Chain A
Amino acid sequence: TQLLEQSPQFLSIQEGENLTVYCNSSSVFSSLQWYRQEPGEGPVLLVTVVTGGEVKKLKRLTFQFGDARKDSSLHITAAQTGDTGLYLCAGENSGNTPLVFGKGTRLSVIA
């Protein structure tokens, strides 16, 4: 079973601070996706990374895929209260295997 470990599990920060959350595995993934989930809703895709070492930016969010395609990080610059939510990473091994999710990092940004 492929496992994705996310850290930290919980994070509470003040508005304007920067933060990084991590997603680690001992397995190699063909792609890795980051989702954000708000209470009572389904996860919504933020980004997909495919190439080892790839960096993608989405406004204040920066995503990086590790060189060996086993890990990823999400960095948020100048966090806002609207960034509050559960951040999930999910790995795909091949086209015919279902996505495997980590347990998520629950982020709370306080005004």
Chain B
Amino acid sequence: DTGVSQDPRHKITKRGQNVTFRCDPISEHNRLYWYRQTLGQGPEFLTYFQNEAQLEKSRLLSDRFSAERPKGSFSTLEIQRTEQGDSAMYLCASSFDQGPPLHFGNGTRLTVT
């Protein structure tokens, strides 16, 4: 069990650029979640997958955000035309079915300048 892996750990981009983050969950976990965390806040739910199916998306996930999990293994989160308000820590978590616990990665910290 190597844990949940996220790449990159840090990303600095200019406003208007597109960015893509990757998450590799724990191998036997069929659920994968994306959360966003800003300074002084707890993680806010963005979306989750069961295997390759995207089952729920938060209203926080604007049209500029898209997430995929093509083979039910790793997932990508893409943000198009980044804005300064997108600056945050993007956390990925995985679990086996719906049960706790969620196993979190160490996140990708995005800074939009």
Give me the interface of A with B, judged by CB distance under 8 Å.
4, 6, 31, 33, 35, 40-45, 48, 88, 90, 92, 95-104
Contact = CB atoms under 8 A, between A and B. Distances in A.
Interface range for B? 20 to 34
Contacts of A45: 100-103
Nearest to A44: B104
B105 A100 contact: no
A99 B45 contact: yes
10 contacts: A33-B102, A40-B106, A41-B106, A41-B107, A42-B4, A44-B104, A92-B100, A99-B45, A101-B43, A102-B42
Given A42-B91, A42-B104, A42-B105, A98 B48 contact: yes
B98 interface: yes
Which 4 residue pairs of A and B lie closest in terms of their CB atoms, listed nearest first? Answer: A42-B104, A95-B98, A101-B42, A45-B101
B31 to A, nearest CB: 9
A61 to B, nearest CB: 16
A48 B100 contact: yes
A31 B44 CA distance: 18
Contacts of B48: 98
A48 B42 contact: no
Interface of B: 4, 33, 35, 40-45, 48, 55-56, 91, 93, 97-107, 109
Contact of A98 (B33, B91, B101, B105): B33
Given A33-B101, A42-B107, A45-B102, A104 B93 contact: no
A21 to B, nearest CB: 13
Residue among A97, A99, A102 with max Cβ neighbours from chain B (10 Å) = A99
